[in-house]
């Protein structure tokens, strides 16, 4: 804290110490400067950025496709896949594509997608409700947000069982029926 001084005098002080005069906040009135080793400062900043990149989790979007005629065995297998993706922290896009005469009975596909969403409610949230766009009915599932203060790893089933009995039952999200009328325009979505 050397106070307000002319730029040339500040530069002379920095040169005398073998350091650099660095402008910290140029928009302040008067501008604020620091005397520091600028090369060392840039190096430390690059190390901080590398550490931040190393610790960040990149969320990927995985897609699981269904058809209106998907049977229970395949449905169970795809539900296990969805659960694995969600537990890894990825989002899952659930899509159901209608083929041929399946377009005449869209309610079958809507029931299937709603069944998938209900099966995933214990471990996922519906980020985007089921929406019909052309011949594809799709929705987006995401991992449930981690509550602050709770430990993400360790603790086992004993620590998780106590809070579940104290908390009220999980609210079931209502089934969403997409627009299926003849005047449906996918561009309005």
Q: Are 44 and 51 in contact (CB under 8 A)?
A: no
| Distance separating alpha carbons of residues 150 and 122, to the nearest angstrom | 17
Angle ∠(142,174,87) on CA atoms, nearest 5: 20
pLDDT tens, 90-110?
999 999 999 988 888 889 999
The residue-averaged pLDDT of 173-180 equals 53
CATH topology of domain 61-146+173-179: Translation Initiation Factor IF3 (3.30.110)
Query: Which of 34, 38, 13 has its CA nearest to residue 23?
Result: 34
pLDDT tens, 114-124?
999 999 999 99
Q: Reply yes or no on whether the pLDDT at 171 is more than 70.
A: no
Q: Reply yes or no on whether the pLDDT at 167 is more than 60.
A: no
Q: How far is CA 54 from CA 47, 74, 89, 135, in A?
A: 11, 37, 16, 41
Residue 161 pLDDT class (50, 70, 90 cuts): very low
CATH code, 7-55? 3.10.20.80
* Total residues found in the chain within this entry: 189
Q: Calculate the CA 129 to chain-centre distance.
A: 16
Return the sign of the alpha-carbon dihedral for residues 111, 112, 115, 121.
Answer: negative
Q: Calculate the CA 162 to chain-centre distance.
A: 28
Return the sign of the alpha-carbon dihedral for residues 158, 162, 165, 170.
Answer: negative
Q: Reply yes or no on whether the pLDDT at 163 is more than 90.
A: no
| Distance separating alpha carbons of residues 149 and 165, to the nearest angstrom | 18
**Res 165: pLDDT:** 43
Q: Alpha-carbon dihedral of residues 59, 188, 110, 119, nearest 10 degrees? A: 30
Mean pLDDT of the chain: 81
For the whole model, what pTM was predicted?
Answer: 0.52
pLDDT tens, 3-39?
888 889 999 999 999 999 988 888 888 889 999 999 9
Q: Where are the domains of the chain?
A: 7-55, 61-146+173-179
Q: In sequence order, what DSSP letters do the residues of 125-149 get, joined into one string? A: EEEEEEEEETTEEEEEEEEPPPPTT
């Amino acid at each position: 804290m050397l106070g307000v001084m002319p730029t040339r005098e500040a530069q002379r002080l920095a040169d005398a110490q073998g350091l650099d005069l660095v402008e910290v906040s140029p928009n302040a009135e008067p501008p604020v400067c620091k005397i520091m080793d600028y090369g060392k400062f840039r190096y430390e900043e690059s190390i901080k950025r590398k550490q931040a990149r190393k610790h960040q989790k990149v969320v990927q979007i995985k897609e699981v496709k269904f058809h209106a005629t998907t049977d229970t065995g395949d449905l169970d297998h795809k539900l296990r896949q969805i659960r694995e993706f969600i537990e890894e922290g990825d989002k899952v896009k659930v899509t159901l594509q209608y083929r041929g005469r399946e377009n005449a009975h869209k309610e079958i596909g809507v029931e299937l997608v709603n069944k998938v969403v209900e099966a995933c409610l214990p471990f996922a949230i519906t980020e985007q409700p089921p929406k019909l766009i052309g011949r594809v009915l799709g929705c987006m599932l995401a991992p449930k947000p981690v509550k602050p203060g709770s430990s993400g790893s360790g603790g086992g089933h004993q620590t998780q069982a106590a809070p579940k009995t104290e908390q009220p039952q999980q609210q079931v999200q209502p089934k969403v029926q997409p627009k299926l009328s003849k005047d449906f325009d996918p561009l309005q979505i």
